[in-house]
Structure 1
Amino acid sequence: MSILISLQHPTDFTSTEKRISAYILAHLNQMPTLRIKDLAAKTYTSHSTIVRLTQKLGYHGFRDFQQALTAEIATQQHQSTTVDANFPFSDNDSVQTISAKMATLTINAIQTAQQQLDTAQLAQAANLLMQANRIFIFAQGDSQLRARSFQNKLVKINRFAIIADEYADEAWNAANLTTEDCAFIISYAGTTSVHQQFAAYFADHQIPLLVLTGNPQSPLLAQATTQLLTVQSEYNFAKIGTFASQAAFEYVLDSLFATMYAQDFHANLQNLQAKQQLLQAGPLTTKER
């Protein structure tokens, strides 16, 4: 996960660690050259406390953490011009300006998602779905549109997913899952009560659960076997549309599909060529002759 997101959304920080985190976020411009003894003095803490915090974030020590944070800050500074994810355009903007802002918003959302993507978790998610007997995707609203796009791609590698929320059959579908299957919850807020209810059931019955969310505080994460997280600067309310979150979800799901495809790339490519022959010039063609 992004260092900045981890600092902004602490899950298991002590009060002292939260004070260090708050200072770092408020003085990012100083971080590339700040010495650990100066950070300790500014936050009224000790060297060992700072090192423990950096290790909790996945780094060996302060220097390792400082270098990674400096690189992340530099990447953000070189991103395209910032566009408000909630209100990316105004009534005074020309059509050209609106289209340019939407392009920038999409680029920024994907760049942010790429920086946050945990590739180890992505590989684990791909393995989970490839090993599952059946895949049940739980998603509502805009997230269900992304789920349908992912479902469509899976057909190309002979994997078939069920949209569990379709026709209000989500409870029946949840009841039918076994330990040989995989549940996949896609929810940006990650707070839907019925999804929390299902996640608890899956955990109690050792049913593998993959969660894709934009909320690092989502209660679903505690129940997940594997998690994919992409946090965007988008509100759960007061916005024109879910542009950033859905662009990020599409990118993550595309990356997940590509990882699954690459596990048996040559066999999948041969299968593609054989199926194309059937569909384009064989007995399954639907083209007029």
Structure 2
Amino acid sequence: MIGKMAIKKIIIEFIEKNIIPAEPAEFKKLSGGTVSELYFLKVNDLEYVLKLNDPAVTEPEALFLDTYEEVGLLPKILYAAPSKTYIVYSFISGSTDYNGSSKKEVLKELAEGLLNKYAAVSSESGWGWVDSPSASWQDFLRNEVSYAQKSIGSLLGPVDHQFVADLVGKIEPSTESYLLHGDCGFHNFIFDEQNLVGVIDPAPVIGAPGYDLVYAFCSTPDDLTKETFDYAIHWLKERPTEIYKLVLIGLYLRIALCCKHHANDLTLYLKVWPEWLEITGYATRP
């Protein structure tokens, strides 16, 4: 954890470099940063976030925000330290509480407001996590599934584990790569009066836009229906041909995450798992 004197030194640097116009009238530490230190700064009528973390986290985030600086749902990045240990971006006012919002409409707003604006990028440096790329899109998914299997353990049977591992091999290799948010779940959505107004805290991934939509769909245990997903995918410009396979992989990864961080949701995800196997025609497996 960085000390107050170091923070004050950073703020002085911001003023000297005209990143902020004056000393903050309000300055406080924000809760909610799982791996980052977050600080709220208010200068006149302007509100900012100072985020501190390892360069492996802040550099890809700065790249994502800089690439999509024209996207209204994203914070505007003002500064990235040469050391890559901290960044400053605009604060998006609202709440991460989406109670009362329609999941269908939120996913539609996400597709139209962010996912359809994704830019194609070179995959020469690899696929998957920007800070730790894999050789191919399949390799990235295979690594994620392998890691998830260790967390899920006996909650799913050997047949399920082998089925998902085999399913990754059936995903057609992506030919066009995009810079994705990578942690595009409802926990990173900002709402105002039940409307989606912001998407924060990217963990950038090189891949296909459908991945972020599946991630968002699977990130809450409510309304995990084919009807809701079909409605959402309708608004996505780039639609993978094997999107339902990606939903099954997304649910599997989410079950693993629940084992570690969201135990209260686990029962609901385990309930929809066989339902989605039925939906996709995989209820009867070899």
Same fold (TM over 0.5): no
Which of these two proteins has the greater Rg computed from alpha carbons?
1
- The answer to which structure has the higher helix fraction is 1
Structure 2-normalised TM-score?
0.29
TM-score, length-scaled by structure 1: 0.28
